[in-house]
Amino acid sequence: MGRSLAGGLLTDRGSTDGKATLGPSGTDRPPTGRVLPSRRSRRLATLSLLVVPVLLALSGCTSKDMPNFAMSDKGATNQSGRVLFLWQGAWIAAFATGAVVWGLIIWTVIFHRRKRDDQGLPPQNRYNVPIEVLYTMVPLIMVGVFFYFTARDEDRLQQISAHPDHQIRVQAQRWSWQFTYDGDQATTVTGTPGNPPTLYLPSGQTVEFSLHSQDVIHSFWVPAFNYKMDVIPGQVNHFQITPRTIGTYVGRCAELCGQDHSRMLFNVQILKPADYQAKVAQIKAQAEAAK
Ligand SMILES: [Cu+2]
């Protein structure tokens, strides 16, 4: 008797007396159970018809061909596209897994429901090594794939060059933000909940942020960057980006930090390098004039 996939699911239905028996392979299987190659071939053919076009369609996809799943596709920084692609891949893998699971459930419900003339229990299967290896290995492979792409991208996102073009100190405090450009105290801008500050960034130049907190844990988040990092008291966190797409974006705190957390907003303007220099010089001139 040939061993079938899915623990005898491809065998003929039930034994004549409705009682399960233990076969020589250790599988409970009715004496009349046998594999029907033509039916199995048909099912494999149907499965390939469903899976192969999906794989072919996905293999030629780029980030732009797929939905964003609520992530920004503005390409505001050199990193935002990488995060978007990882996010899209994770969703598509989740949808594919869901489709297989729901497909198997629906297939079972439709094709293996109890027939009118069925009596007793259907064949009871256990100790089916191939199916047990399958449902152990498939999740392990899935987790491995998720882990590989996440670890690869996280490593690249957190790479820091020793000599960034600009260093911006970000200080979070209940409930606003303070920005200082290139270590020059005269360029410090402090916001309030009623008057959110603007962070200026030069396009095409590397910027390193150092994140400081004066009180509790906050999180520095510019949604268009597809990236955020915690701002922790007593610890300075760093990350680098290269702004790319000129424009104005919103920023906010992404860690519930107290009563006015929702008002902890700021703006981000990515400018041409010359315009950026002019803005920073203007901030400095205004601070010196106010002395
Ligand atoms: Cu906060």
Question: Where in the chain are the domains?
Answer: 5-157, 166-289
CB distance 217 to 182 below 8 Å: no
Burial (CB count within 10 angstroms: exposed 0-12, middle 13-18, buried 19+), residue 167: middle
Residues of the chain below pLDDT 70:
1-63
Q: Could you give the CA distance from residue 25 to residue 7 in angstroms, rounded to a whole number?
A: 11
Give me the torsion for CA of 50, 51, 57, 61, rounded to 10°: 140
Give the distance (Å) from ligand 1 centre to CA of residue 248.
21
Q: State the distance from the centre of ligand 1 to the C-alpha of 206, rounded, in angstroms.
A: 25
Q: Measured in angstroms, how far is the CA atom of residue 92 from the centroid of ligand 1?
A: 32
CATH class of 5-157: mainly alpha
The pLDDT score that the predictor gives to residue 24 is: 39
Distances (CA, A) of 236 to 211, 226, 232, 272: 5, 21, 7, 28
Contact between residue 171 and residue 215 where contact means Cβ atoms under 8 Å apart: no
CA distance 198 to 37: 69
Q: In 3D, which of 132, 138, 128 has the Cα closest to residue 7?
A: 128
Q: CA-CA distance, 22 to 229, in Å (whole number)?
A: 58
Per-residue confidence (pLDDT) for residue 123, from 0 to 100: 82
Cα 264 to ligand 1 centroid, rounded to whole Å: 6
User: What is the whole-number distance in angstroms between the Cα of residue 267 and the centre of ligand 1?
Assistant: 15
Distance CA 56, CA 43 (A): 20
What's the N-to-C CA distance of the chain in angstroms? Answer: 93
Whether the full predicted model's pTM is greater than 0.85, yes or no, is no
Residue 121 has what pLDDT? 87
Q: Do domains 5-157 and 166-289 have the same CATH topology?
A: no
Residue from 248, 258, 247, 238 nearest 193 by CA = 258
Q: What does each C-alpha distance from 234 to 58, 185, 217, 231 come to in angstroms? A: 46, 21, 10, 9
In the reported structure, the alpha carbon of residue 154 is separated from the centroid of ligand 1 by a whole-number distance in angstroms of 24
Query: HEC string of 29-44?
Result: CCCCCCECHHHHHHHH
- pLDDT value at residue 240: 97
Å from CA of 250 to ligand 1 middle: 15
Q: 220 alpha carbon to ligand 1 midpoint, in Å?
A: 8
Q: Which residues are in the CB-under-5-Å shell of ion ligand 1?
A: 218, 253, 257, 264
Strand 189-190: give its sheet, edge to edge: 189-190, 176-181, 166-173, 207-213, 237-241
For residues 237 and 231, the answer to whether their CB atoms sit within 8 Å is: yes
- Per-residue model confidence (pLDDT) at position 235: 97
User: 166-289: which CATH architecture?
Assistant: Sandwich (2.60)
